[in-house]
């Protein structure tokens, strides 16, 4: 057992060291791309706590990212708050919004809850453009943040926050709170019989997950140095759910694979088609990138239905079984 835990600690340490030295090995633009990947990592990590561990499907987390992003932009431009200090405030504001949404959402389950959250994502751009909020959000014009940071800065700040939030998620999953989440996901009736309050824990899951989305949304705003309703487009919420499925629902270790998919596959779909297709296809034709994205998603789901996290568990299970088996124990 000690050897197995030692290997896990060594793997985490190696991953941390790799993240620390990576920006010095790539250019500023690549560091920027990897920083954006870290933003998606944070958002998908929070979504996984909600959907993967409590079974509440959300297709509206892009809206909570928008709450965090607008909070950062407004505080930085109107209140003079240093932009890096607005990140936790954006998370707290989005977390509060998630708590408020989670209360009426208690009456909804399954597909109905998913549609309700998607409705929030669809409505958010219109809310930001509304005449009564134009003085705050600047409507369709948007808000320019005072500083455009380098890719290396974005990488360092994003992945430092991502590491801290990953440890927080790990602590939550392995705590009494996490066990209650999983009990609700598996059987709400059984969880209630064990003393779990479904309403309280479901609302808490929404709040925690939205906090993660708000932090990601704030970082997203800082990466663009600009926010407007189109920055947090409706499809962003779908991409986050896709990333959670690819990473593996109910798995923290696979989230990085989902973040990499969301960051690199959609914008490079045409190049991927050119590289793998044996036929002469105009990869720049309208709709082709979307088809490639859909095909890639179907392929990943067919080959690894439990996501990258489940695939990793299946690969490592025989090795971990040997390490946990005591000598002479049969």
pLDDT for the residue 221: 94
* 41 and 78 housed in the same domain: yes
Using alpha carbons only, what angle is made at residue 253 by residues 252 and 256, rounded to the nearest 5 degrees? 100
Pairing type for strands 226-227 and 143-144 reads antiparallel
* 205 and 66 housed in the same domain: yes
Alpha helices in the chain (DSSP H): 2-21, 28-54, 61-78, 86-102, 110-129, 134-137, 151-173, 176-186, 188-193, 198-224, 234-247, 255-264, 269-276, 288-303, 307-324
* 133 and 206 housed in the same domain: yes
d(CA 219, CA 297): 26
Whether 223 is in a domain gets the answer: yes
Residue that finishes a domain, picked among 227, 250, 273? 250
Whether 127 is in a domain gets the answer: yes
Distance of CA 65 to the CA centre of its chain: 10
Instruction: Give buried/exposed letters for 265-302 (b at 16+ CB in 10 A, else e).
Output: bbeebbebbeeeeeeeeebeeeeebeebbeebeeebee
* 180 and 111 housed in the same domain: yes
The verdict on pTM exceeding 0.75 is yes
pLDDT for the residue 90: 95
Residue that finishes a domain, picked among 202, 223, 250? 250
CB 223 within 8 A of CB 72: no
Q: Which residue segment(s) compose the domain that 227 sits in? A: 27-250
DSSP state of 187: -
d(CA 198, CA 41): 27
Q: pLDDT tens per residue, the chain (330 residues)?
A: 555 556 556 666 676 677 777 777 778 888 999 999 999 999 999 999 999 999 898 998 999 999 999 999 999 998 889 989 999 999 999 999 999 998 888 888 888 888 899 998 999 988 888 878 888 888 888 899 988 888 899 999 999 999 999 999 999 999 999 999 999 888 888 888 888 888 899 999 999 999 999 999 999 999 999 999 888 888 889 899 988 988 888 888 889 989 998 898 877 776 766 666 665 565 566 666 677 777 777 877 777 777 777 676 667 656 555 555 555 444
Whether 237 is in a domain gets the answer: yes
């Amino acid at each position: 057992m000690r050897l197995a835990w030692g290997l896990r600690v060594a793997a985490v340490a190696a991953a941390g060291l790799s993240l620390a030295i990576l920006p010095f090995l790539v250019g500023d633009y690549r560091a920027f791309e990897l920083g954006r990947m870290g933003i998606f990592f944070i958002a998908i990590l929070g979504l996984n706590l909600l959907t993967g561990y409590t079974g509440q499907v959300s297709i509206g987390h892009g809206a909570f990212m928008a709450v965090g992003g607008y909070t950062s932009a407004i505080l930085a431009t109107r209140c003079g708050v240093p932009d890096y200090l607005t990140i936790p405030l954006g998370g707290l504001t989005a977390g509060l919004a998630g708590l408020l949404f989670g209360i009426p959402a208690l009456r909804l389950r399954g597909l109905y809850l998913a549609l309700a959250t998607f409705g929030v994502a669809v409505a958010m751009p219109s809310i930001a453009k509304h005449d009564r909020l134009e003085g705050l959000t600047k409507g369709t014009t948007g808000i320019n943040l005072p500083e455009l940071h380098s890719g290396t800065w974005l990488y360092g700040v994003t992945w430092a926050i991502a590491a801290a939030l990953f440890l927080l998620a790990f602590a939550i999953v392995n705590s009494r709170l996490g066990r209650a989440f999983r009990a609700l996901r598996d059987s709400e009736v059984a969880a209630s019989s064990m003393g779990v309050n479904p309403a309280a824990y479901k609302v808490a899951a929404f709040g925690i997950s939205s906090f993660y989305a708000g932090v990601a949304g704030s970082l997203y705003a800082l990466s663009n140095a600009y926010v407007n309703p189109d920055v947090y487009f409706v499809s962003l919420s779908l991409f986050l759910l896709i990333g959670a499925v690819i990473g593996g629902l109910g798995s923290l270790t696979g989230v990085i694979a989902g973040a990499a998919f969301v960051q690199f596959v959609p914008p490079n779909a045409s190049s991927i088609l050119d590289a793998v297709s044996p036929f002469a296809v105009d990869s720049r034709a309208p709709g082709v990138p979307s088809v490639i994205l859909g095909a890639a998603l179907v392929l990943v789901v067919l080959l690894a239905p439990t996501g990258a996290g489940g695939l990793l568990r299946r690969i490592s299970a025989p090795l971990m079984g040997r390490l946990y088996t005591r000598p002479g124990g049969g």
